[in-house]
């Protein structure tokens, strides 16, 4: 017996260490994404501001997880690893608590270890243990709450009452859906009390529930409208059977299972094991029967309520039912590795079949975990935000940071984290448009940037409802000229520019039988292989058919081009901007990737494609091109 206990403890230690390794493997590699950015921005507030802002902003989650993340980040810092570590810790805690709950329910050692293994290797539990969000906390705390509820149910200790109230209160303050598990506990306890007429149990339980209600009520009253009125941003619930398949498929193999076609068969196998597990518990004596009732209520009540909650609003998501993982794994483990009183050949065959089915589920879980650990969500590639930071650095390098602005056409809080971490003294940024589809607001910001002397604006483009009609680019084009775009691996970044005050150099060059070039300016960004050219034309003498050319060539050889652009002079013009009282058009000229060291000229001229031979128009002093700028490549 002592040897078996030692082996069991050793195996459980390996599972805990393995679960920890899985949850911290490459934990800091992936960039913060989605709601993780909101969590980071939110916990930068004071504790008092967290309370007031949660209510003022209608944040649909309570304060518990934010307080935990804030306290931890104040101690450990704000690296991606540090910010996510509390979730990983709660994820490992969930493994140990699942094992402990099984032991308290008097399930066999193989069952408890099997359920802990399913939790340890679960790609679903692992993925939410690697995010700066509250879901692994919800999982661990609801298991702890149910464990304490069972201990209280069996032993009626006032010390347990205090522990139960504290843990359940924290669970409810981590996520409102912890209330689904609390409801399941009440259904179980009140049902047993009515059947047994257990007055002492009922008194103790009522004291615990009243204490929990009293401690939770002030916040629940204040946030009741938020918790019940949140409209959601995901999906409406499908029919119940489809929802059950979605839940179980995700719980078993996650989102990166290599053989997607087999998931329905695995779900049917899981349902069969659930039925076998509950029947096995029901036929295994009074204590196991009571444990089976608890596990069944603990599994199906949260699933049903999470599903029902999304029938009339788009809040259906597997993560909201994460509290159902522990009873699912315990029942499946009981079906696969629990003892069953059937002897002889039929019993042996059934035992081998159940064990094989359990191992198949465990193998599928590990395969899903392997797919997850090999995915971009874990290895961190591509680093989209870091690439965007690199783009900002590159395009801001040739100008003072005060002359560069960064705009995102969607209010993504993740950039706040990367901006503060990697660009603490870099260019400022804003969301453009400032409100959904706000064209006037976008133009006002562009005007403000112009007044501040900004000469370059970088606009990240995300396909979203916020800027569905290209309002951000249109707003910037009212004050800045479009120069071109680059790609970060996921997003397009548009580059806009404008000359600074006094940059437009007067030329007043008249072309024979053509227009007059009043002023021009060119700015070379050698690192990014981009030349910005700005013109102000007096088109009084134009025939309307002329085209201009921009040639970037070696100073001593106008035919050794490293960049060029030809455009109609009078039609298809880009939006004009106003600079120093001049109407200015801007153009970006890409330069070739390889730029030999030397001196280069920017030459501008006109030609008429409608004339035979497309002759160049000469200037009044006989030149066929004008050098408007020069630059040197080191």
Beta strands 582-590 and 577-579: pairing type?
antiparallel
Find the mean pLDDT for residues 74-80.
93
Residue 238, pLDDT score = 96
Residue 571, pLDDT score = 61
Q: What is the pTM of this model?
A: 0.86
Residue 217, pLDDT score = 93
Residue 197, pLDDT score = 67
Residue 602, pLDDT score = 95
| Burial environment of residue 401 by CB neighbours within 10 A (0 to 12, 13 to 18, 19 or more) | middle
Residues 6+ apart with CB under 8 A from 223: 54, 55, 62
Residue 376, pLDDT score = 85
pLDDT (tens digit, 9 = 90+) per residue, 214-260?
Answer: 999 999 898 888 888 888 778 999 999 999 999 999 999 999 999 99
Q: Rounded to the nearest 10 degrees, what angle do helices 178-196 and 199-229 cross at?
A: 150
| Burial environment of residue 487 by CB neighbours within 10 A (0 to 12, 13 to 18, 19 or more) | exposed
Residues 6+ apart with CB under 8 A from 539: 515, 569, 570
pLDDT (tens digit, 9 = 90+) per residue, 94-108?
Answer: 999 999 999 999 999
* Residues 628, 522 contacting (CB under 8 angstroms): yes
* Cis status, amide bond into 382, omega within 30 of 0: yes
* Cis status, amide bond into 417, omega within 30 of 0: no
Report which listed range, 187-201, 414-428, 508-522, is most confident: 508-522
Find the mean pLDDT for residues 137-160.
93
Closest by CA position to 421, among listed 2, 21, 73 = 73
Any bridge partners for residue 600, and if so which?
554, 631
More confident residue, 192 or 501: 501
User: Helix, strand, or coil here: 490?
Assistant: coil
pLDDT (tens digit, 9 = 90+) per residue, 267-282?
Answer: 999 999 999 999 999 9
Chain-wide mean pLDDT for the chain?
A: 92
**The tokens of 512 are what?**
């024979």
Residue 465, pLDDT score = 87
Residue 234, pLDDT score = 86
Residue 428 pLDDT more than 90? Answer: no
Find the mean pLDDT for residues 259-266.
96
Least confident interval from 4-18, 286-300, 389-403, 446-460: 389-403
Residue 176, pLDDT score = 95
**What percentage of the chain has pLDDT greater than the value 90?**
73
* Residues 449, 496 contacting (CB under 8 angstroms): no
* Residues 476, 457 contacting (CB under 8 angstroms): yes
Residue 255 is classified by DSSP as: T
If one looks up domain 505-633 in CATH, what number appears? 2.60.40.2550
Residue 572 pLDDT more than 80? Answer: no
Please give the order of strands across the beta sheet that includes 428-431.
428-431, 404-408, 456-461, 492-497, 481-487
In the chain, what are the domain boundaries? Answer: 15-379, 386-497, 505-633
Distance CA 111, CA 109 (A): 5
**The tokens of 234 are what?**
């995901």
Q: How far, in Å, are 134, 473, 580, 601 from residue 449 at the CA level?
A: 39, 14, 15, 30
Length of the chain: 634
pLDDT (tens digit, 9 = 90+) per residue, 301-312?
Answer: 999 999 999 999
| Burial environment of residue 430 by CB neighbours within 10 A (0 to 12, 13 to 18, 19 or more) | middle
Least confident interval from 204-213, 266-275, 567-576, 584-593: 567-576
Residue 131, pLDDT score = 96
**The tokens of 118 are what?**
């399913």
Distance CA 481, CA 534 (A): 9
Residue 546, pLDDT score = 85
Residue 488 pLDDT more than 90? Answer: no
**What percentage of the chain has pLDDT greater than the value 70?**
97
pLDDT (tens digit, 9 = 90+) per residue, 330-380?
Answer: 999 999 998 766 666 666 677 788 899 999 999 999 999 999 999 988 987
Beta strands 557-568 and 547-554: pairing type?
antiparallel
Residue 545 pLDDT more than 90? Answer: no
User: Helix, strand, or coil here: 314?
Assistant: coil
Residue 511 pLDDT more than 70? Answer: yes
């Amino acid at each position: 017996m002592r040897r078996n206990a030692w082996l069991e403890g050793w195996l459980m230690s390996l599972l805990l260490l393995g679960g920890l390794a899985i949850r911290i493997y490459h934990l800091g590699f992936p960039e913060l994404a989605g709601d993780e950015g909101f969590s980071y921005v939110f916990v930068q507030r004071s504790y008092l501001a967290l309370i007031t802002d949660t209510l003022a902003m209608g944040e649909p989650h309570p304060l518990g997880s934010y307080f935990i993340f804030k306290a931890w980040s104040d101690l450990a810092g704000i690296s991606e690893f540090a910010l996510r570590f509390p979730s990983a810790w709660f994820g490992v805690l969930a493994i140990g608590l699942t094992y402990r709950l099984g032991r308290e329910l008097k399930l066999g050692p193989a069952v408890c270890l099997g359920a802990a293994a399913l939790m340890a290797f679960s790609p679903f539990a692992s993925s939410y243990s690697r995010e700066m969000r509250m879901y692994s906390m919800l999982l661990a705390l609801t298991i702890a709450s149910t464990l304490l509820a069972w201990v209280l149910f069996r032993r009626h200790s006032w010390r347990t009452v205090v522990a139960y109230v504290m843990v359940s209160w924290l669970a409810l303050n981590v996520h409102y859906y912890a209330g689904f598990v609390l409801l399941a506990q009440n259904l179980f306890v009140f049902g047993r009390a009515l059947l047994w007429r257990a007055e002492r149990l009922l008194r103790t339980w009522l004291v615990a529930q009243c204490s929990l209600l009293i401690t939770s009520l002030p916040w629940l009253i204040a946030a009741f409208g938020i918790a019940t009125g949140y409209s959601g941003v995901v999906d409406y619930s499908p029919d119940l059977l489809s929802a059950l398949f979605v839940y179980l498929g995700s719980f078993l193999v996650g989102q990166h299972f290599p053989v997607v076609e087999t998931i329905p068969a695995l779900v049917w196998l899981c349902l069969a094991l659930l039925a076998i597990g509950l029947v096995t518990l029901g036929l295994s004596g009074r204590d196991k029967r009571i444990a089976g009732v608890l596990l069944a209520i603990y599994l199906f009540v949260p699933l049903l309520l999470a599903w029902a909650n999304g029938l009339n609003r788009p809040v259906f998501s597997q993560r909201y039912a994460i509290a159902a993982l522990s009873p699912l794994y315990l029942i499946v483990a009981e079906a696969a590795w629990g003892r069953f009183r059937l002897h002889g050949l039929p019993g042996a065959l059934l035992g081998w079949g159940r064990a094989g089915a359990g191992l198949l589920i465990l193998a599928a879980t590990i395969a899903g975990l392997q797919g997850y650990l090999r995915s971009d969500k874990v290895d961190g590639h591509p680093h989209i935000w870091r690439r965007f930071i690199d783009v900002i650095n590159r395009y801001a390098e040739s100008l003072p940071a005060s002359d560069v602005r960064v705009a995102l056409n969607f209010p993504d809080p993740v950039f706040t984290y990367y901006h503060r971490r990697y660009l603490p003294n870099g260019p400022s940024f804003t969301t453009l448009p400032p409100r959904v589809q706000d064209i006037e607001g976008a133009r006002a910001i562009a005007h403000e940037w112009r007044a501040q002397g900004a000469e370059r604006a970088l606009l990240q483009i995300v396909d979203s409802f916020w800027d569905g009609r290209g309002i951000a680019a249109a707003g910037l084009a009212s004050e800045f000229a479009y120069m071109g775009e680059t790609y970060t691996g996921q997003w397009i970044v548009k580059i806009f520019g404008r000359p600074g005050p006094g940059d437009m150099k007067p030329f007043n060059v008249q072309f024979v039988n053509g227009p007059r070039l009043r002023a021009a300016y060119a700015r070379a960004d050698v690192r990014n292989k981009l030349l910005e050219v700005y013109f102000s034309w007096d088109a009084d003498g134009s025939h309307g058919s002329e085209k201009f050319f921009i040639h970037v060539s070696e100073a001593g050889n106008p035919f050794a081009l490293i960049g060029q652009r030809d455009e109609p002079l009078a039609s298809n013009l880009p939006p004009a901007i106003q600079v120093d009282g001049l109407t200015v058009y801007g153009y970006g000229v890409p330069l070739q990737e390889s730029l030999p060291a030397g001196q280069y000229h920017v030459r501008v001229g006109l030609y008429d494609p409608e004339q035979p031979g497309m002759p160049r128009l000469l200037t009044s002093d006989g030149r066929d091109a004008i050098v408007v700028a020069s630059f040197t490549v080191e």
